[in-house]
Amino acid sequence: MNVLNRLRAAFGAVTPEGGDPRAFGSAVRPANDPKFGDYQANGCMALAKSIQKNPRELAASVREAVDLEPIAGKPEVAGPGFLNVRLHDEWISQRLADLLDDDRQGLTAPESVRTVVIDFSSPNVAKPMHVGHIRSTVIGDSLARIFEGLGHKVVRDNHMGDWGSQFGMILWGWKTARDEAAFAADPVTELARLYRLAQSRIKGGDKAVEDAARAETVKLHAGDPENRELWSRFMPACLAALQKVYDRLGVRFDVELGESFYDPMLAAVVADLEAKGIAEESEGATVAFVPGMKAPLIIRKRDGAYNYGTTDLATIRYREQTWDPDQVLYVVDTRQGDHFKQLFDVARRWGYDGAALEHVAFGTILGADRKPFKTRDGDVVGLESLLDEAVVEARKVVDANSPQLDDDERARVAEIVGLGAIKYADLSQNRLSDYVFDWSKMLAMHGNTATYLQYAYARIQGIFRRGEVRPEDVRGRRPRVLVSHPAERALGVRLLRLPEILELAADEMKPNVLTDHLFELANAYSTFYEECPVLKAESDERRDSRLALCDLTARTLKLGLNLLGIDVVDRM
Ligand code: ARG
């Protein structure tokens, strides 16, 4: 059950005259400080101002009118006109007892199931994945898990760049400098070498190479048999290399329709846009102007080639026809903001306005020097080596903290802790901001890290081991969950909040709403653990009640981390 929404509905229903029930209801927030109760309705101040009434009097009248039973009693008027809501202890106990038997952790089916296409990861395939690919991959995967966790239908779509100019560069490299033996031994490394060779020549100002590479791309697109044949030969190796990284990260897709898939549709897209008067000729190219924006969306270049945006338009049409989505999320770097603004505007005028198209933008990963994260030699950081390094760093932490585990187990834990640290460091940022990559911060045992949460989880498993009791035994005894101690109560209220947190995270498309919650949950647990003896509780009833709180905390941490794509371990 979503407690916040229930309270918002109750306050919305008694909105004083002159107010907007939606705005008035949504001014209910979780309280920052338990002194002010569990939730706070803050709508009276703004409304009082706009209808020129005394805010405290207005709050008093809302207090009389609102009915929060059985969740809470009458709210309390406080300060300049706040209404503080305190949940009934008995109600909290009841809900926690219900949660014990609920493997959906309080999540109920949504009122209306939405179909959400998530376009994420979407790398350009002919070069190895690098650090820049983490954010889209990890944020997109987490959003997919969160939407699915809420009961929506998700289509995970990896819109790979498998048709772009980088293939022209590789084709040029292949034809001028290939090493067949090296390709046979390790195709991706050889292709990467050829790509880098072309790249460095072009960067160095070699116009001839640039033109030759472009000509190879044009030939590929035009259907040249040799280039098509080479493309079909290169692709499986490129895809296998990507798949290796996805498998390691535990990321999967429902469809992987790269740009090449849409190539046969592009001519018709351009023709249709021209026929509808949305695209026009400009300086030899075909473009769609967008009101308020200087540059148009180019859909056919002067040389006849189609563009990134042309493919994106074809993709919008295909997705609409195939899945009829309610929402399409593009998890892509902020720097492509203008592209998506143009794209969405053109799509809407083209008639594809059924789905909400949203650019889920994110900032850049920075190095310690606050410049985009590079290796010491100034190269982009390869994704695989970064993951390896994460595991090496995590291994140091595991070795130091868990000498009791054997070697294999420590290696297994280090993989989970290392990958968890990288993912969590990314997901716990407001996705719009840039952030500085810092091993020691992301692997800290205390603070807002995956390591801290994984450790809290493992500690709870340790309590069950030491008490020689299994969570299902406690559940089977149907204990009452007591919340008379403030630390028990604070933990209990947190545990009930998961459904509302996930809805907020989904609405804002921000996994950090979930990470913040899990961090607060682990903190509440830590206070509880310090103040409330569990195995040595004063009575069997208390002991079971506290074990139940431990169990619920562990299950919530595990589910929450799973929705971030992060695993837990029983010992660390
Ligand atoms: N391949 C693109 C890049 O690496 C990202 C694609 C994002 N998705 C899309 N539909 N445009 O920049």
Cα of 134 vs centre of ligand 1, distance in Å, is 13
Residues with CB under 6 A from ligand 1: 119, 122-124, 159, 161, 312, 315, 330, 332
Cα of 234 vs centre of ligand 1, distance in Å, is 20
DSSP letters, 229-276, are HHHHHHHHHHHHHHHHHHHHHT---SB---HHHHGGGHHHHHHHHHHT
Are the beta carbons of 141 and 120 closer than 8 angstroms?
yes
Cα of 330 vs centre of ligand 1, distance in Å, is 8
Burial class of residue 436, CB neighbours in 10 A (0-12, 13-18, 19+): middle
ipTM, interface predicted TM-score of the complex: 0.99
Distance of CA 262 to CAs 193, 243, 384, Å? Answer: 28, 21, 29
Q: Which amino acid, one-letter code, is at 350?
A: W
Are the beta carbons of 567 and 450 closer than 8 angstroms?
no
541's tokens:
């009833």
- pLDDT of 51 reads 93
Residue of 307, 313, 328, 332 to test ligand 1 pocket, by largest number of atoms within 8 Å of CB: 332
Cα of 159 vs centre of ligand 1, distance in Å, is 7
- pLDDT of 128 reads 79
Cα of 332 vs centre of ligand 1, distance in Å, is 7
- pLDDT of 312 reads 98
Distance of CA 235 to CAs 58, 218, 411, Å? Answer: 67, 18, 33
CATH level 3 topology of 3-87: Gyrase A; domain 2 (3.30.1360)
Q: Which atom of ligand 1 is nearest to the CA of 330?
A: 8
Nearest 10 degrees: Cα torsion 280, 282, 288, 291? -110
Cα of 126 vs centre of ligand 1, distance in Å, is 14
- pLDDT of 52 reads 93
- How far apart CA 517 and CA 515 sit, in angstroms, is 5
Q: Which atom of ligand 1 is nearest to the CA of 339?
A: 11
166-177 confidence digits (pLDDT tens)? 899 999 999 999
Cβ-Cβ contacts under 8 Å for 409 (sequence gap 6 or more): 571
Residue of 261, 336, 362, 364 to test ligand 1 pocket, by largest number of atoms within 8 Å of CB: 336
Residue of 118, 120, 122 to test ligand 1 pocket, by largest number of atoms within 8 Å of CB: 122
The mean pLDDT value of the chain amounts to 95
162 by DSSP, 3-state: which? coil
Q: Which atom of ligand 1 is nearest to the CA of 336?
A: 12
H or E stretch covering 312: helix 308-323
Per-residue pLDDT of the chain (572 residues; tens, 9 = 90+): 999 999 999 999 999 999 999 999 999 999 988 889 999 999 999 999 999 999 999 999 999 999 999 999 999 999 999 999 999 999 999 999 999 999 889 999 999 999 999 999 999 988 778 888 999 999 999 999 999 999 999 999 999 999 988 899 999 999 999 999 999 999 988 999 999 999 999 999 999 999 999 999 999 999 999 999 999 999 999 999 999 999 999 999 999 999 999 999 999 999 999 999 999 999 999 999 999 999 999 999 998 889 999 999 999 999 999 999 999 999 999 999 999 999 999 999 999 999 999 999 999 999 989 998 887 777 788 899 999 999 999 999 999 999 999 999 999 999 999 999 999 999 999 999 999 999 999 999 999 999 999 999 999 999 999 999 999 999 999 999 999 999 999 999 999 999 999 999 999 999 999 999 999 999 999 999 999 999 999 999 999 999 999 999 999 999 999 999 999 999 99
Cα of 82 vs centre of ligand 1, distance in Å, is 46
Helix pair angle (132-149, 407-427), 10° resolution: 90
Q: Is the dihedral of CA 82, 87, 89, 92 positive or negative?
A: negative
Q: How open is the CA angle 112-113-117, to the nearest 5 degrees? A: 135
- pLDDT of 378 reads 75
468 by DSSP, 3-state: which? coil
Residue of 119, 159, 311 to test ligand 1 pocket, by largest number of atoms within 8 Å of CB: 159
- pLDDT of 356 reads 97
Residue nearest atom 6 of ligand 1, based on CA coordinates: 122
Domain boundaries, the chain: 3-87, 400-429+438-563
435-473 confidence digits (pLDDT tens)? 999 999 999 999 999 999 999 999 999 999 999 999 999
163's tokens:
């048709």
Q: Which atom of ligand 1 is nearest to the CA of 160?
A: 1
Cα of 258 vs centre of ligand 1, distance in Å, is 10
Q: Which CATH number fits domain 400-429+438-563: 3.90.1570.10, 2.60.40.10, 3.40.980.10, 1.10.730.10?
A: 1.10.730.10
487's tokens:
């630390």
Residue nearest atom 11 of ligand 1, based on CA coordinates: 312
Q: Which atom of ligand 1 is nearest to the CA of 308?
A: 11
Cα of 338 vs centre of ligand 1, distance in Å, is 13
Place of tokens 């549709």: 265
Cα of 156 vs centre of ligand 1, distance in Å, is 14
DSSP state of 124: B
